[in-house]
Amino acid sequence: MARLQFDSLFTSNADGSIVARENIRIGGVTLPKDYVIQPGSVVGGIDLTQYKGHELEVVTDSGAFVITAIY
């Protein structure tokens, strides 16, 4: 398990959207690298765009970063 800064896994865009820098899994949903998430979109039960600047606890599994907690 590791804690990473949000910006290690996502790029923030001026329009408020974020882009996955790596394959990401959260809440059983896997997002491919370069997947764009718009503000207000719910993925795996949460709006990830609301957590910019937070730390993410992750593990790796089958080539994806699995988000297990948000701080």
Q: Using CA atoms in the order 41, 50, 15, 28, what is the torsion angle rounded to 10 degrees?
A: -40
pLDDT the model gives residue 48? 96
pLDDT the model gives residue 50? 97
**Could you read off the pLDDT tens digit of each residue along the chain, which spans 71 residues?**
999 999 999 999 999 999 999 999 999 999 999 999 999 999 999 999 999 999 999 999 999 999 999 99
Q: Using CA atoms in the order 40, 70, 2, 53, what is the torsion angle rounded to 10 degrees?
A: 70
Residue 34 dihedral angles phi and psi, to the nearest 5° = 75, 10
Residue 3 dihedral angles phi and psi, to the nearest 5° = -105, 130
Q: Which residue has the tokens 């080539």?
A: 63
pLDDT the model gives residue 15? 97
Q: Where are the alpha helices (DSSP H) in 1-71?
A: 6-9
